[in-house]
Amino acid sequence: MENTIFYVIIALGLSIVINIFLKRFGISQIIGYIFTGTIIAYAFDLRVVHNSHSLELISEFGIVFLMFTIGLEISLAKMGSMKKEIFGNGIMQVGLSALLFYIICHYFFNLDFKSSLVIALAFALSSTAVVLSYLKTSKEIHTPYGHKSTGILIFQDMAVIPILILLTFWATEGNESLLVILQDTFISAVFVLSLLFIVGKRLMTWMLHFSATSELDELFMGSVLFIVVSASFLAHYMGFNYSLGAFVAGMIISETNYHHRVEADIAPFKDLLLGTFFVVVGMKIDVALFINNFALIVELFISVLVLKIAIIYFLLRISSPHAVSLKAALALAQVGEFSFVIFAIASSDGVLNNHLTQLLVLVVILSMVVTPFFITRINEIVALFTKEKEDEDFNLPALQGRENHVIVCGYSIVGKFVTKELDKLDAPYIIVDNSYKHVKEALNDNIEAYLGDASKQSILNALHVEKAAAVIVTLDNLEKKRLICEAVLKYSKDVNLIVKVVSLEEKEKLADLNISIIVDGKAEVARVLVESMRTCELKNH
């Protein structure tokens, strides 16, 4: 017990030091956790410990909490609206990828049917932990390529269930028929989903309401943890993986009024347990095997990467622009964390031999280590291979001949109020926002809005800034605000540029720019308060 605590403390401290160092170079903390696991395993001779069932269970709950947060963002209504991305693109991607990898493994590498199918299904999956974490952090989950990537990832996570059923069938072959297993699985699935959606939904809503009204944060947090763990163990008890129960629980809570608070409260637990998962992944690395087979592992990794990029790109290109398809293909090109589970089960059941399993694990680890380096640079990479503008949804013809219009940069809270005031004046205006979510909101409000970065010259040219009556910048981010101001003033010095600031510090940092009007939010609030006071005084007299 003392040794365990000692190893945990060492791992925690080492991961902090490594991630602080990597952060300076813009490298994902996932790589830091993997390196931590490898260093700990070799420094303290713990390479056997990574097979511990308890440690594997703890690390798996990192994926459980990640799936729970995914469920929070995918309500039943949203899943219905994303059926094309989830069931259309998802089925085609997993099916075509698995088919191509199976043909290569079986006919080119002469592997047997079972081994080829297991490898094909595992390689068809992508990393939810890496990709979705990045999309959510960078806010690109609301972009066209982020939307399509999320849909495919959701289907991949759902596809893990039948894959595990298949492995279970092979493990019990000779005892039960596939028909019996599928029948039992179907009955179990109906029971679990019915229990969670009918009984569980009412219980979860009552529990969250009761704990929220108690005004005790620890009670609310305890309720959330109880819901996640209980739903996970229910799914596991009925023969499914833990993540299914957590995902469904998240979907149920997403329909309630507590989903934003739940997501915020659960984030520290998810990140901590997800870090544990990647530490265990790092402990699986066999450095000697990696060095001796370095060329083979790199070749396999590059082959998988190129094939998945090609498959996903051509699949999405049927209905999506070139840039969107390429970005999604690059984001989903790696092999996912669920492949570790698939390989582990297949190896323990004798479907894969141990040496082959070790090589495949190293390929997956290399894939997950390399991914954070290029996923954060997808826009730059795509720009090298395409002539399409980043504003692929920008409808240029619709703006031809536009003049004396107001350009509103940003459709968040302040932007919405600005448009209401402009409507009162009956002034023509255009919304431009780099957030796909905000553009969708504006379009839903029957407002003319376009997706684009107002700091780009191509966008300013399309907006006809030189003919605009004014440009109003409502953004909160100071860095982005300054980039837009610099770009607008460089494009047209005569433009009426109106910028919102929230502090004296922001005002000072923009003072060197020739901005027409700077509106200090706090000063305006003070002025309105005094005006209101004077009105009250006049009424009293």
Contacts 24+ apart (CB under 8 A), 40-43: 40/7, 40/10, 40/11, 40/14, 40/279, 40/282, 40/283, 41/282, 41/283, 41/285, 42/287
Output the pLDDT for position 470: 93
- Distance, in Å, from the CA atom of 77 to the CA atom of 59, rounded to the nearest integer, reads 31
pLDDT digits over 164-203, tens only? 777 766 765 545 565 666 676 677 777 777 777 788 788 8
Domain 397-540 is found in CATH 3.40.50.720: yes
Query: CA-CA distances (angstroms) from residue 135 to 263, 308, 409?
Result: 16, 19, 23
- Distance, in Å, from the CA atom of 239 to the CA atom of 252, rounded to the nearest integer, reads 21
pLDDT digits over 279-333, tens only? 877 787 788 888 999 999 999 999 999 999 999 999 999 988 888 899 999 999 9
Output the pLDDT for position 396: 43
pLDDT digits over 103-161, tens only? 999 999 999 888 999 999 999 999 887 888 788 776 677 678 888 898 898 888 778 77
If you classify domain 41-385 with CATH, what class do you get? mainly alpha
Output the pLDDT for position 283: 81
- Distance, in Å, from the CA atom of 519 to the CA atom of 498, rounded to the nearest integer, reads 7
List the structure tokens of 53: 């069932």
- Distance, in Å, from the CA atom of 369 to the CA atom of 82, rounded to the nearest integer, reads 30
**What 3-state DSSP class applies to 139?**
coil
CA dihedral sign of residues 143, 149, 152, 157? negative
**If you write DSSP's letter for every residue of 447-492 in order, what string do you get?**
--EEE--TTSHHHHHHHTGGG-SEEEE--S-HHHHHHHHHHHHHH-
The angle subtended at Cα 167 by Cα 288 and Cα 227, nearest 5°, is 95
Question: Which residue in this structure is represented by tokens 């390989």?
Answer: 343
pLDDT digits over 439-458, tens only? 888 888 888 888 777 887 77
- DSSP for residue 54: H
Output the pLDDT for position 388: 53
> String of b and e for 517-532 (b: at least 16 CB within 10 Å)?
ebbbeeeeeeeeeeee
- Distance, in Å, from the CA atom of 41 to the CA atom of 50, rounded to the nearest integer, reads 8
Output the pLDDT for position 301: 93
Percent of the chain with pLDDT over 90: 18
List the structure tokens of 515: 């901005």
Which residues 6+ apart lie within 8 Å of 436 measured at CB? 142, 143, 144, 146, 147, 393, 451
Residue of higher predicted confidence among 424 and 129: 424
Angle between helices 259-283 and 217-237 in degrees, nearest 10: 60
Portions of the chain given CATH number 1.20.1530.20: 41-385
Q: What is the mean pLDDT of residues 6-17?
A: 83
Portions of the chain given CATH number 3.40.50.720: 397-540
Question: How many other CB atoms are found less than 10 A from the CB of residue 184?
Answer: 14
pLDDT digits over 346-404, tens only? 887 778 888 888 899 889 888 888 888 888 888 888 888 776 544 444 444 456 667 88
Output the pLDDT for position 307: 95
Q: What is the mean pLDDT of residues 3-20?
A: 81
Q: How far does Cα 83 stand from its chain's mean position?
A: 18
Output the pLDDT for position 531: 81
pLDDT digits over 209-240, tens only? 888 887 777 888 888 888 888 888 888 777 67
**What 3-state DSSP class applies to 519?**
strand
